[in-house]
């Protein structure tokens, strides 16, 4: 794995790759996997998932952070105030398009993987950047937030309660950053033990609990509530044969009724359900990685993904 920081759409952006760095010419590679994360868009949450993909598939794997979601002492990002267009949903989509235009060579085909709001971003990228559509072999949408976010159980909680206490959460995150490192790690270790979450998540969570990052994370979440409303058939109809959806039977952001709505409105769509939770990277990144790997292999062999069991 190789990590680095590049400027995309005016924002320093963290990138992690397996198999080939973004500035390599990729002349020996015909296919590439590009992962667009959920919110928060911190790349290291996806390490286990993407390492599993790379270990089972013979192609490079890339992921980039969302603009402003991954910060550190080694990078300074433009402030949210006065730069909302960089960090809102439209800005994040533009951020992904600029990355693809700059770093993916024209001879390379793409397998997209979108998680949560990353699925919506991919649909918008395919609409707003039509030149790339012909090079997309398949887009795998994991626990996709592509409709009625505010109406979901978690959306109601966020809109009714959490968005009003965001300033308090950001202030507490600033207090957290002032604590000694060993205290911060101990607090997170205890929390993840109670939540039965893998301890590998401590490091990316420490990066996330940063006032600069959290402001942008919550700002994007509030945008999602306003923008991702009724299912937009135009986003799907034009690329229906390139899409595969993966829903959870117990998802607070994407109720199973949304899966049923999608199947009813688009009978040709490929979709499966699972019992993995929405934030799968916290406890089942490897398991979901094996599933996606199997689907990509089946795609290359001509099998339909929905004929396979997960």
Q: Does residue 278 have an active-site annotation? A: yes
Helices (H) and strands (E) in the chain, counts: 12, 8
Structure tokens at 42: 């911190």
Query: Which candidate, 212, 224, 277, 271, places its Cα nearest to that of 248?
Result: 277
Residue 37 — φ and ψ, nearest 5°? -80, 175
The distance from CA 302 to its chain's CA centroid, rounded to whole angstroms, is: 27
**Distance in Å from the first CA to the final CA of the chain:** 27
The angle at the Cα of 238, spanning 232 to 242, to the nearest 5 degrees, equals: 105
Could you say which of 95, 115, 159, 251 is catalytic? 251
Strands (E), the chain: 2-8, 11-18, 31-36, 61-64, 109-115, 136-142, 243-248, 270-274
Say if residue 66 is exposed, middle or buried (CB neighbours under 10 Å; 0-12, 13-18, 19+). Answer: buried
What is the rounded distance in angstroms from the CA atom of residue 236 to the CA atom of residue 240? 5
Could you say which of 37, 116, 119, 284 is catalytic? 116
Cβ neighbours of 134 (radius 10 Å):
8
Q: Does residue 107 have an active-site annotation? A: no
CB 53 within 8 A of CB 132: no
What is the rounded distance in angstroms from the CA atom of residue 158 to the CA atom of residue 154? 6
Q: Does residue 234 have an active-site annotation? A: no
- Give the strand order in the sheet containing 31-36: 2-8, 11-18, 61-64, 31-36, 109-115, 136-142, 243-248, 270-274
Which are the catalytic amino acids?
A: 116, 251, 278
């Amino acid at each position: 794995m190789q990590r680095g920081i590049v400027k995309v759409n005016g924002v320093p952006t963290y990138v992690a790759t397996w198999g080939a760095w973004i500035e390599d010419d990729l002349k020996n590679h015909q296919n590439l996997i590009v992962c667009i994360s959920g919110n928060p868009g911190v790349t290291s949450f996806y390490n286990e998932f993407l390492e599993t993909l790379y270990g089972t598939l013979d192609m490079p794997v890339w992921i980039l952070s969302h603009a402003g979601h991954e910060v550190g002492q080694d990078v300074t990002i433009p402030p949210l105030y006065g730069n909302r267009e960089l960090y809102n949903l439209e800005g994040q989509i533009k951020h992904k398009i600029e990355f693809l235009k700059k770093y993916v060579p024209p001879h390379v085909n793409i397998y997209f993987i979108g998680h949560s709001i990353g699925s919506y971003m991919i649909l918008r990228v395919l609409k707003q950047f039509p030149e790339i559509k012909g090079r997309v072999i398949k887009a795998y949408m994991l626990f996709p937030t592509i409709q009625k976010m505010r109406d979901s159980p978690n959306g109601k909680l966020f809109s009714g309660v959490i968005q009003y206490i965001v300033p308090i959460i950001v202030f507490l995150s600033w207090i957290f950053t002032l604590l000694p490192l060993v205290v911060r790690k101990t607090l997170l270790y205890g929390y993840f033990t109670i939540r039965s979450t893998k301890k590998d998540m401590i490091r990316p969570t420490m990066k996330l609990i940063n006032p600069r990052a959290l402001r942008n994370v919550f700002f994007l979440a509030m945008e999602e509530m306003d923008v991702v409303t009724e299912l937009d058939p135009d986003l799907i109809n034009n690329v229906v044969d390139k899409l595969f959806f993966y829903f959870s039977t117990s998802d607070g952001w994407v109720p199973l009724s949304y899966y049923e709505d999608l199947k009813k409105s688009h009978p040709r769509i490929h979709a499966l359900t699972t019992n993995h939770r929405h934030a799968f990277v916290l406890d089942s990144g490897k398991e979901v990685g094996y599933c996606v790997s199997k689907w990509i292999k089946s795609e290359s062999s001509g099998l339909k993904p929905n004929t396979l069991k997960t």
